[in-house]
């Protein structure tokens, strides 16, 4: 442990950015002060206050209006695709209180694709899902539109929109698939990494979403890569700012042994009951001269490694 701490460049204390209460959405308990959800046009949305936090009153600020409730809030997503900020506040007598900023993104429906394209961005064709895999794979019904104006927006406390931009194009808008489960896993795993002494304000990201078109262009040999379905990320720790995995084990080399340390932590993470909903695939990859070693994680719903 001393070796880890002595190597760390970032000495500032890590802040988990948790509110004084949690909300529940789609069976996920979310304590983060900033979070993002992805819904279809006119989809019904329900946000509940976690059971242990229902002894207080809360206010939701939505579309310029405030609504007070004690347990849950229900509303219908707008018909127009786009970004809609929402705030859920703990109501105190003096007007202060903890709050959760919820970014609601209304997706662009997949049925609006023109062949392989959506608004000029090439997505390609999604593979047919075998019957025996339909419990964990489904073709996306909508896509998140990334506009250049949103790049600095925090999707969660420690991850910004610009970290999820694809390598497919430098032009905007881009369209991606992104799952709430992946955002939660990235945040919680970042907390675990900091808890054991690897200091990191965020993860460097090699790749998150890859369209079927781009996945095939890269020569990947699977049509069912989790990157196509929005719940996978290839990550590394980069406190030096050189876009390369740090020397986590302090041996003076930047290689797969560093990503293996993250792999071991990720295995332990998946084994914890509190994170059982976020279990997924894990693999450690070595550098190739273009990019350094990294860890693949995903939140497919069951643990597997390769």
3-state secondary structure at position 17: coil
Q: What is the pLDDT of residue 184?
A: 98
What angle is formed at CA 104 by the lines to CA 18 and CA 109, rounded to 5 degrees? 145
Classify burial at 280, counting beta carbons within 10 Å of its beta carbon; exposed 0-12, middle 13-18, buried 19 or more: buried
pLDDT in tens, 4-37: 333 344 456 899 999 999 999 999 999 999 999 9
Residue 124 has pLDDT above 80, yes or no: yes
Q: What is the pLDDT of residue 107?
A: 98
Kind of pairing between the strands at 99-106 and 34-39: parallel
pLDDT in tens, 248-260: 999 999 999 999 9
For 185, half-sphere exposure in the C-beta direction (CA atoms, 13 angstrom radius) is 30
Count of C-beta atoms within a 10 Å radius of residue 245: 27
H-only helix segments in 132-221: 180-195, 212-217
C-alpha pair distances (Å), 227 with each of 138, 140, 220: 13, 12, 11
pLDDT band at 289 (very low <50, low <70, confident <90, very high): confident
Q: What is the pLDDT of residue 13?
A: 85
Residue 2 has pLDDT above 60, yes or no: no
Q: For residue 159, what are the β-bridge partners? A: 156
Q: What is the pLDDT of residue 167?
A: 95
Kind of pairing between the strands at 57-62 and 65-69: antiparallel
Q: What is the pLDDT of residue 6?
A: 31
Residue 234 has pLDDT above 90, yes or no: yes
pLDDT in tens, 163-194: 999 999 999 999 999 999 999 999 999 999 99
Taking the C-alpha atoms of residue 182 and residue 200, their distance in angstroms, rounded to an integer, is 18
Residues 186-206, mean pLDDT to the nearest whole number: 97
Average pLDDT, the chain: 93
Least confident residue range of 100-114, 188-202, 214-228: 214-228
Q: In this structure, what DSSP letter does residue 129 have?
A: P
pLDDT in tens, 29-65: 999 999 999 999 999 999 999 999 999 999 999 989 9
Q: Is 135 left (phi over 0), alpha (psi -120 to 50) or beta?
A: alpha
pLDDT band at 95 (very low <50, low <70, confident <90, very high): low
Q: What is the pLDDT of residue 102?
A: 98
């Amino acid at each position: 442990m001393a070796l880890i701490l002595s190597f760390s460049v970032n000495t500032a204390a890590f802040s988990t950015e948790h509110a004084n209460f949690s909300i529940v959405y789609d069976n996920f308990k979310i304590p983060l002060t900033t979070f993002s959800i992805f819904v279809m046009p006119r989809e019904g949305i329900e946000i509940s206050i976690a059971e242990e936090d229902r002894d207080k009153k809360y206010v939701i600020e939505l579309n310029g209006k405030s609504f007070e409730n004690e347990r849950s809030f229900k509303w219908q997503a707008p018909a127009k695709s786009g970004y809609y900020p929402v705030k859920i506040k703990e109501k105190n007598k003096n007007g202060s209180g903890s709050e959760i900023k919820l970014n609601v993104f209304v997706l662009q429906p997949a049925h609006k694709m023109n062949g392989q394209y959506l608004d000029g961005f090439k997505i390609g064709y999604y593979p047919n899902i075998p019957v025996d895999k339909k419990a964990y794979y489904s073709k996306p019904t909508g896509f998140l539109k990334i506009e250049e104006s949103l790049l600095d927006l925090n999707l969660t406390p420690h991850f910004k929109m610009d970290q999820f931009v694809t390598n497919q194009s430098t032009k905007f808008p881009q369209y991606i698939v992104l799952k709430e489960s992946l955002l939660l896993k990235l945040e919680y795993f970042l907390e675990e990494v900091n808890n054991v002494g690897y200091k990191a304000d965020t993860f460097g990201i090699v790749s998150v979403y890859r369209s079927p078109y781009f996945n095939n262009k890269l020569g990947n040999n699977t049509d069912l890569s989790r990157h196509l379905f929005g719940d996978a990320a290839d990550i590394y720790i980069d406190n030096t700012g050189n876009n390369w995995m740090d020397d986590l084990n302090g041996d003076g080399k930047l290689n797969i042994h560093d990503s293996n340390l993250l792999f071991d932590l990720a295995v332990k993470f998946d084994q914890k009951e509190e994170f059982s909903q976020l279990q997924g695939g894990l693999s450690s990859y070595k550098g190739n001269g273009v990019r350094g070693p990294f860890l693949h994680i995903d939140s497919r719903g069951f643990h597997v490694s390769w």
